[in-house]
A = this chain, B = another copy of it.
Amino acid sequence: MGANSSTALGAASESSDGRIPAEHPGVTDLFAVLAYGEISAFYRLAEEAKLSPTLRGKVAVAKMAGNESEHFKTLEQALADRGVDVFDAMAPFVRALDAYHASTDPSTWLESMVKFYVGDGIAADFYTEIAGALAPEVADVVRDVLAETSHSEFVIEEVRTAVAQNRSERDRLALWGRRLLGEAITQAQYVMAQRDELTELVLVATGDLNGIATLFEHMQNSHAERMRVLGLA
């Protein structure tokens, strides 16, 4: 992290109740990376719906993508409330998120479903942990856009049914899930390295470097649990 930014940010790092105040400049980055995450997930889902063998699958995906669109609007408004244009704010995150999606491009409908469930889960773990350290009005926005939806049930059902009768599919998707976790962590680190304000916010939210290590351990445990739920453990 640059010396000048840590000086500038130091004063705004904690409010009197120990929460990171809404004015912390890392909050803008946090909303922005989430916003571009929603837009890129929207288009990935819409594209991958072509892999669906049924209209039922396409409808489920249209609903999931519709939720991403709603979440984007929430974040756009939250940024506007801070006087920030969503397009300016998202620009620094386009490359890392596009790279994540390019490196985890599903080639089958089931890979797409696993990516949706597992990728959403990894992101939710990370941001929910951060949200716990944020001023309530900021934490509310983050939790709102990460709220798990009923569509997870559709995904779980699709994957569990498919792998219950097919061991090689199960093994393949288990490897796929591991790769998703690896790529998500790689790209998250890349995002952090690019944005001093966001790094500072994450460090304050998790306590210190040990806190980050603990967070990543939690994320790996949750990931393992999600793989078990999908029948891929």
Contact = CB atoms under 8 A, between A and B. Distances in A.
Interface in A6-41: 39
B72 A59 contact: yes
A65 B38 CA distance: 13
Interface in A107-154: none
A171 interface: no
Contacts of A49: 43
A69 B62 contact: yes
A28 B206 CA distance: 54
A87 B58 CA distance: 11
Nearest to A46: B46
Interface residues of A, number: 24
Interface in A36-59: 39, 42-43, 46-47, 49, 55-56, 58-59
B66 A69 contact: yes
Copies in the complex: 2
Contact of A73 (B47, B63, B72, B86): B63
A47 B50 CA distance: 10
Contacts of A208: none
Contacts of A39: 55, 58-59, 62
A70 interface: yes
A62 B87 contact: no
A182 to B, nearest CB: 28
A65 B65 contact: yes
A62 B58 contact: no
A74 to B, nearest CB: 12
Q: Which 5 pairs of residues, A with B, have the shortest CB-CB distance?
A: A66-B69, A46-B46, A66-B66, A42-B62, A62-B69
13 contacts: A39-B55, A39-B59, A43-B46, A43-B49, A46-B46, A46-B47, A55-B87, A55-B90, A59-B86, A62-B72, A66-B69, A66-B73, A69-B69
